[in-house]
Chain A
Amino acid sequence: MTISAPEATPTKLEQTGQLGYKKHTDGGWGVVPIQTRSDRFRSTDVADFPALTGREAVWKLTPIDRISDLIDGELDGGEYAYSATAVDGVDIRWVDRDDTRIGTAGTPEERGSANAWTRFEKALAVTVSGEEAKTVRIDRSQFGIAPRAAHVLIEAKPFSSALVILENTGSARLSENVEILVGDGADLTVVTVQQWDDEAAHLASHFTVVGRDARIKHVVVTLGGSVVRINPSTHLNSSGGEVEALGLYFADAGQHLEQQVYVNHDAPHTRSRVTYKGALQGEGARTVWIGDVLIRQTATATDSYEQNRNLVLTDGTRADSIPNLEIETGDIAGAGHASATGRFDDEQLFYLQARGIKEEEARRLVVRGFLTEIVQQIGDADLQARLEVAIEEELSGTSLTSDGR
């Protein structure tokens, strides 16, 4: 059989993604790590971590010189101003460090996270109860420019249901830990949105532990900030637990946006889906995605899939995409990963242009469509609408003309 032009561009998802990407070459595909992910050193005390060299696995792709205050410096760990919608079944209050829930979802694996843990004075505790669905929005816009530590605790009581949105705007130099406790049978969505000012720096480690037959949807949306690094880890240590981890990031010139996503399958019949999508435009726009999935011997009949896709809009950008899959049991229901970074698919542009749509608008449609998959899954119409607008603004920040072809 002869193959005509469009057929010659493969569109198989596994291989190249729907945008005609090439597989990323410097990913850690199938490489056995020296140390299993769960064996990493952990401590809540910053003094237990040596000073950084920048060569550490968790830091080597991060511009640590731009955030040394957060990693090494004194941090203000006191209360900060926030505003939240009042919702039945959601209690929000400051709690002391000795709250018994603190430290039960996870503990720091690196110095920046430990520094925040060492310095925070009060934790902002969000406690969700009641089976009916509800949405609570917590706006944080008052951090200011002094380096800060924060600790957030989100607990969903057994069988409760809620969507918790953390909206971050304004200026900030913030290192924080977010603990998320999902009780048995609970259904919790946590969305963290970073639309910081241009100069902001934000390090966050999210630790989620998922109860029996419980479900967490965790969404990271990062559009604004100079250096933003959000590392969500999820421990599936009860049977039937499920995580859907979604991410969307849009890096402009000079921005460094990073996420290290870790799913630890520890119990049987657990399920994970990780989907992160990013767009990059402008000189020095930089993104990092590292996705570790560990399926332990105890985690039989688990089902996991992780993917990261990056769409490069201009020259001068760099996207690192590194999936790692560690499987310690032969008995799994499914495990897969995909990673791709690429430019526009010419066939998509041609199709749209062949319907009269101008090249520039065709490019916008493709990018918007690419990112919309994540936006659509957030589950809050108001936030989704605002993000669509924000993405539109990001897109109009550059003229999306073709790359000199």
Chain B
Amino acid sequence: MSVLEIRDLHVSVETEQGSKPILRGVDLTIKKGETHAIMGPNGSGKSTLAYTIAGHPKYTVDSGSITLDGVDVLAMSVDERARAGLFLAMQYPVEIPGVTVTNFLRTAKTAIDGEAPPIRHWIKDVKNSMKDLRMDATFAERNVNEGFSGGEKKRHEILQMELLKPTFAVLDETDSGLDVDALKIVSEGVNRAKENTNLGVLLITHYTRILRYIKPDFVHVFVDGRIAEQGGPELADRLENEGYDRFLVGEATTA
């Protein structure tokens, strides 16, 4: 049983004014097949956590650890992490001019598997996954994320997740900016991956609405760079009614 463990993680970001601490001691354990929702206000450090797991060079780990089945993730390069089974669906996917979706997906799949996928199978898989996500076939020939709408970018992230079949996926606000139809389509994709590959999910979100479609096993409230409270799905309902104020007020009085 695979497990992703984050221990007392302290992370700072390089800014023009120097190094700025953001994560202040994050502890989190995710087992394969589990879905953990991370909810928190803007600026609380959710994306920083996501990028740190993926290995973005802008973020420096000051202390703490991330391990995957006991193996040190922080010692791995970005691409090694992906090949080890970690996936990040980005909040702001990047455009790659001149690189088609088809070429990109095949290159990524080949890199992850260590060999080119059998061509006929692969074409069928891509087609089916695109159909499941209601992506037009013409998508395949477009350049990666170039001119994609917000919703198209998010579907494209989920498409990659379904095709690359990671062990753990971090979804960074995949729900934001989606209308209800797109939200359902994207959620179905995540649920399919959970069912088909027993994916472990770290679902980062600002709102509770995606939790109607993707049922979390655990909910963590993220405030000011650390987990302020955790519980089961019922915690999401509470947040829905009360918002984050309770946590933010607490912050203010202790500050």
Contact = CB atoms under 8 A, between A and B. Distances in A.
Interface in A267-310: none
A366 interface: yes
A2 interface: yes
Interface of A is mostly: helix
A14 interface: no
Interface in B76-96: 77-79, 81-83, 87-88, 90-96
A372 B56 CA distance: 27
Given A350-B78, A373-B98, A4 B57 contact: no
Contacts of A345: 94
A370 interface: yes
B226 to A, nearest CB: 17
Interface string B58-89: 11000000000000000001110111000110
B208 interface: no
Contact of A369 (B48, B55, B98, B160): B98
A353 B98 contact: no
A348 interface: yes
A34 interface: no
Contact of A348 (B48, B83, B96): B96
B94 A350 contact: yes
Interface stretch (B107-115, B192-200, B231-239, B242-250): B107-115
Contacts of B104: 352, 355, 365
Nearest to A11: B95
Contact of A358 (B43, B54, B79, B92): B79
Interface in B21-73: 42-43, 47-48, 51, 54-59
A357 B92 contact: no
B227 to A, nearest CB: 19
Contacts of A331: none
B1 to A, nearest CB: 23
B99 interface: yes
A200 interface: no
Nearest to B58: A5
A223 B224 CA distance: 53
B23 to A, nearest CB: 13
B158 interface: no
A96 interface: no
Given A5-B13, A355-B108, A358-B111, A347 B94 contact: yes
A91 interface: no
A114 to B, nearest CB: 39
A5 B108 contact: no
Given A354-B78, A354-B88, A369-B99, A6 B94 contact: yes
B177 interface: no
A353 B88 CA distance: 11
A354 B82 CA distance: 6
B95 A356 contact: no
A6 B90 contact: yes
Given A351-B90, A353-B79, A356-B83, A18 B111 contact: no
A51 interface: no
Nearest to A362: B79
Ranked 5 nearest A-B pairs via Cβ: A369-B98, A2-B43, A356-B82, A355-B108, A353-B78
6 contacts: A11-B95, A345-B94, A352-B96, A357-B79, A358-B111, A359-B77
Interface of B: 13, 42-43, 47-48, 51, 54-59, 77-79, 81-83, 87-88, 90-99, 103-104, 107-108, 111-112, 143, 146, 160, 164
Interface of A: 1-2, 4-7, 11, 18-19, 345-348, 350-359, 361-362, 365-366, 368-373, 376, 405
Given A350-B78, A350-B94, A351-B93, 20 more contacts: A1-B42, A2-B43, A4-B48, A4-B92, A5-B51, A18-B97, A352-B104, A353-B82, A355-B108, A355-B160, A357-B79, A358-B79, A361-B107, A361-B111, A365-B96, A368-B98, A370-B97, A373-B97, A376-B98, A405-B57
